[in-house]
Structure 1
Amino acid sequence: MTEKIARGQEPQEPPRPEPPEPSELPETPETPEPELPEQEWQEQPAPVGLRVPTGRARRVRRFRLTAWIALVLAAVVVGASVLWVNGPPTEAELREKAGLFGKEILRVGVKDDTPGIALQEKTGTRVFRGFDIDIAYMIAADLGYSKDRVAFMAIETEDRARMQARDKDGRFVRVDLVVATFSVTPERQKDPSVGFSTPYLYTEQSVVTRSDYQGKVTSLGQLRGKKVCTLGTSTSEVELERATSAFVTAKNRISECVEGLKGGEYDAVTTDAAILAGFVKESAGGLVHHDIALEKTEMWAVNAGPNAALRDLVNLALYRSYADPQNHGWEDAYKDNIEPMLLASPDVNVAQSEQPCVLPPPIRRWPWERGLASAQECLSR
């Protein structure tokens, strides 16, 4: 039966049930967030406020970046391979082209009558000493030849371009290298039989007289009317003929000129200062060295003939001597042979005391194979 509410009395709400404890709540399964559908990536700016899809787009971008890096690396590898195949030859390849593989003895043509530069001992043995000899040994060592595998053969001035020297029996033999005070000239460089290395010594032309000569020679012109001896087919003979009308005698051996000067046959001898300085030193005051103030520099170089590969290997040996601070081959050769001659020729620039600048030859080597300090610029030397 329904209970009636009295007039003026507020109805009362039925009591609310107490909320259950958290542990008593029924477990509601989690509803996963809806996944956005994958969309194709388009390389254009997204509208403001629009969320750019990142799933497949990131994968595509990573793929493209990886492909680009692989392409660059492939290009580098291919380029390096092409450079390695088509670039300059290696040192081993040059040795093969030069004919050094299987070659037991290296034949070198040198002067045998020039004290301090290249002189054969007069003891019946084939022992040579001097600056050119030490330079030849230095080059030979870099080519892989010990001193006992180097055969020096006397060569005369006129035979240096032909590379014909005499062996111990006096027979003409073709040599592999000529290290014999051979000056570089434009005319010689045009000769196809001559293959000059980079220069290994700078000197200048000078004049020697007996100590009783009246006056001082300061130019070739002062030798006008004098009897002068020089080396035939040499740069000294050419300069002498240009500068004076002296009575010129040309010899193949400078020692013959000096002997004639001492005996009164000639009034003067002229040739490179580094050649004459040794004779002045040995004369113990009997000869006087004169500076004739020529601007032209005499540049001695090694002749490898038409063997271009051997010439490049010689240049590599000279470069190592120049650029490697641990290599003292050139400095030792100068100190042992040329420095002792300087005191007897105080007024003459006998030879520059520094090795001429040598740039790296065109030989292919990886950076880790070089192991040399960078060559300084020639102008800074």
Structure 2
Amino acid sequence: MSQASEPSPAGPATPTRTTRTRQIRVVGLVVALAVLAAALVPIVLAVGPPTRDELLEQAGMKGKQQLVIGVKDDQPGISQRFSNNVWKGFDVDIAYMIASFLGFDRSQVRFLPIESEDRARRQASDGDGFVTVDLVIASYSINKKREEEGAVFSSAYLHTEQSVVTLQSFKGPVSSLQDLAGRSVCSLTTSTSIERLTEAGATPRGRNRISECIQELYDGEVEAVTTDAAILAGFVTADRPGDDGQRFPVTLRNTKPLRHWDIGSSPQERWGVNTGPNRALRDLVDLALYTSANDEEDSTWENAYNANLRWQQQYNPGQPVAEQEQPEARKVEVRQWPWERIALPAPAHPGSPPTSVTANRAAWRGRGRRSSGC
């Protein structure tokens, strides 16, 4: 065979004009995207909503060593201070949940007792005088009058309703406040229940603490007490055991069995957190509540409800203690990159005893009623 018939060795492939054109276009596109990104980043940083970190800075939470929260100290199941200075209750667990979101662990949270009339001003007693607390989480119903007094509320974290308790021996029924006409009835001085009792023909007695009202009921000085059902349920339950053996040691005198009455006349009592005038702090609290309500993996709220309120229902037949679903919270816009995800951090505290959470959060919803304004 002649050399002319042998194949010549293959040389290096020469790029075609089309291939070179494509390469040039890809390089140009990458450069253009890089320029565009460099131009957009400062714009986003300048005009977008604040990041969560920026909100923490604006709220004065960065570098803060202690979060001071005003709570009630005499409401079993809601917020109660025990003799060893341990605090327990639904409001306490919600306070820890919010504190964790703000970057504080359990040891950095300080609770101070706060009276009803001091909640709008956020003034609580530390034993030596009054101090301004960072947050008020104290069975504080959201209403316009309180906002006019200076309270700045977060979204609601619990829905309940107004009800009445009497001694078990009381000859009922009590299906409305009108059924208490001519009788002496105690309520918190700052609640709108006082005015409503007068309208119903009852004789109201105002006290600063609901435990004082219950004591007067035991002593026969009044015939009934009215305020939010979630508050009264703890006194009706008293020291009877929960599913896990939990009890509410109510240190009142001359205690007697109580009966809880559904009066069917008030709408949802919407409990909120008084955050004060710092808008960034209110946004952070709402962000914590929104995240908790919308994260199916998070059961902190449900655990708090189960540990403190749900098990009491057996001792309060006929009167719903509170709604079993966390209220929807206001959505707060925060700036984040696509790969970022706002999520409630794992609680920085042991929290409530573990309890089972139902598969879905939809549960009993209260009927539309008028407000007691606890």
Conserved? CA contact 1:159–1:165, under 8 Å: yes
CA positional deviation for 1:371: 5.4
Which of 94, 99, 113 lines up with 1:140 in the alignment? 99
Change beyond 3 A, Cα 1:370–1:65? closer
**Residues 20-39 of structure 1, C-alpha deviations (whole Å, 9 max, x = no match):** xxxxxxxxxxxxxxxxxxxx
Distance of 1:305 and 1:189 partners within structure 2: 10
- Structure scoring higher RCO (CA < 8 A, sep ≥ 6) equals 2
The amino acid across from 1:126 in the alignment is N
Q: Does 1:86 align with 2:57?
A: no
Conserved? CA contact 2:72–2:113, under 8 Å: yes
Conserved? CA contact 1:155–1:165, under 8 Å: yes
Q: Normalized against structure 2, the TM-score is what? A: 0.77
* SS of corresponding position for 1:278: helix
CA positional deviation for 1:367: 3.0
Distance of 1:187 and 1:161 partners within structure 2: 10
CA positional deviation for 1:270: 0.3
Range with greater deviation from structure 2 (232-241 or 248-257): 232-241
**Residues 20-62 of structure 1, C-alpha deviations (whole Å, 9 max, x = no match):** xxxxxxxxxxxxxxxxxxxxxxxxxxxxxxxxxxx9xxx8x99
Distance of 1:199 and 1:364 partners within structure 2: 24
Conserved? CA contact 2:193–2:226, under 8 Å: yes
* SS of corresponding position for 1:322: helix
Range with greater deviation from structure 2 (72-81 or 195-204): 72-81
* SS of corresponding position for 1:353: coil
Q: Does 1:224 align with 2:181?
A: yes
Flag structure 2 segments of 5+ consecutive residues without an equivalent. 1-16, 241-255, 345-359, 366-374
**Which residue of the partner structure matches residue 282 of structure 1?**
238
Cα-Cα RMSD: 3.0
Q: Does 1:355 align with 2:316?
A: no
Which of 80, 97, 108 lines up with 2:58 in the alignment? 97
Change beyond 3 A, Cα 1:294–1:82? farther
The amino acid across from 2:140 in the alignment is F
Q: Does 1:271 align with 2:213?
A: no
Distance of 2:156 and 2:213 partners within structure 1: 26
**Which residue of the partner structure matches residue 364 of structure 1?**
335
Which of 72, 77, 95 lines up with 1:111 in the alignment? 72
Distance of 1:180 and 1:304 partners within structure 2: 12
The amino acid across from 1:103 in the alignment is K
CA positional deviation for 1:75: 6.0
Range with greater deviation from structure 2 (80-89 or 208-217): 80-89
Distance of 1:275 and 1:170 partners within structure 2: 28
Conserved? CA contact 1:184–1:196, under 8 Å: yes
Conserved? CA contact 1:155–1:166, under 8 Å: yes
Q: Normalized against structure 1, the TM-score is what? A: 0.76
The amino acid across from 1:357 in the alignment is E
The amino acid across from 1:361 in the alignment is V
**Which residue of the partner structure matches residue 159 of structure 1?**
118
The amino acid across from 1:110 in the alignment is V
Which protein has the larger Cα radius of gyration, Structure 1 or Structure 2?
1
The amino acid across from 1:209 in the alignment is T
Which of 220, 225, 247 lines up with 2:203 in the alignment? 247
Which of 298, 310, 313 lines up with 1:339 in the alignment? 310
Which of 209, 212, 235 lines up with 1:256 in the alignment? 212
Flag structure 1 segments of 5+ consecutive residues without an equivalent. 1-54
The amino acid across from 1:227 in the alignment is S
Q: Does 1:205 align with 2:162?
A: yes
The amino acid across from 1:369 in the alignment is E
Distance of 1:371 and 1:361 partners within structure 2: 11
Distance of 1:112 and 1:220 partners within structure 2: 27
